[in-house]
Amino acid sequence: MRTFDQPLLRLDGVAKIFYTDEIETHALSGIHLDINRGEYVSIEGPSGCGKSTLLSILGLLDAPTEGDYSLDGKPVAGLSAVERSRIRNREVGFIFQSFNLIGDLTVYENVELPLIYRGMKGAERREQVKDALERVGMSHRARHLPSQLSGGQQQRIAVARAIAGRPAILLADEPTGNLDSINGEAVMELLEELHGEGATICMVTHDPRYARAAGRRIHLFDGRVVEEEARAA
């Protein structure tokens, strides 16, 4: 059983409001949420309930309209754009439903790119890209383009890109949403393996089968947390 110190991620009264043509859309309202280091959390709820918005805030891709967000005990609100970018690059790994691979880069180059932005030296980059591709069973596709891969293979590359930098936090937005059941199960097995090695994982999913893999399930409805449940030991 893991023991935790202070929460790695803490949201206190977070709200997100989008303004368009004088219309206010309340995507999130009064979110209070702690995620501890080493936890595996799923975020569930119907379409439009704020799941992806919440994940974007956790990953510093967006900022709350109201409330406070602390990452590893440090308030996020005071961070500059450069500091937020640095944290995203070094501390957070993103896995998206749509893969978000760059079409004219090879598999190897897609996985390597975030490490180049980090300023990592060539030898270390090569080692970490090689290790990440081996982890997802895609070393033999290193020189292929994304268009030459199946959807399941592309998602494996997206996972490799996310883990190559060895981030403290993995944020997965419907990582199995565009996959058949076999490839979906393979991606979920990878996430469970990474969690077993100590990664903090926060996953948005519509699929209750995959949500059950998480240690804690958070249910959203109309931008609010309406239920939390922990997996029985």
Q: What pLDDT does residue 183 have?
A: 86
For the chain, the domain total comes to: 1
Report yes or no on 214 lying in a domain: yes
In a domain, 1, yes or no: no
Residue 2 lies in a domain: no
pLDDT value of position 232: 67
pLDDT for 3 equals 42
Residue with tokens 């929460």: 7
Q: Is residue 210 part of a domain?
A: yes
**62: containing domain:** 9-230
| Mean pLDDT along residues 84-100 | 90
Whole-model pTM: value is: 0.88
Residue 223: what pLDDT? 95
What is the average per-residue pLDDT within 183-208?
90
Whether 222 is in a domain gets the answer yes
pLDDT digits (tens, 9 = 90+) for 32-86: 999 999 999 999 999 889 999 999 999 999 999 999 999 999 999 989 999 999 9
CATH code for the domain of 116: 3.40.50.300
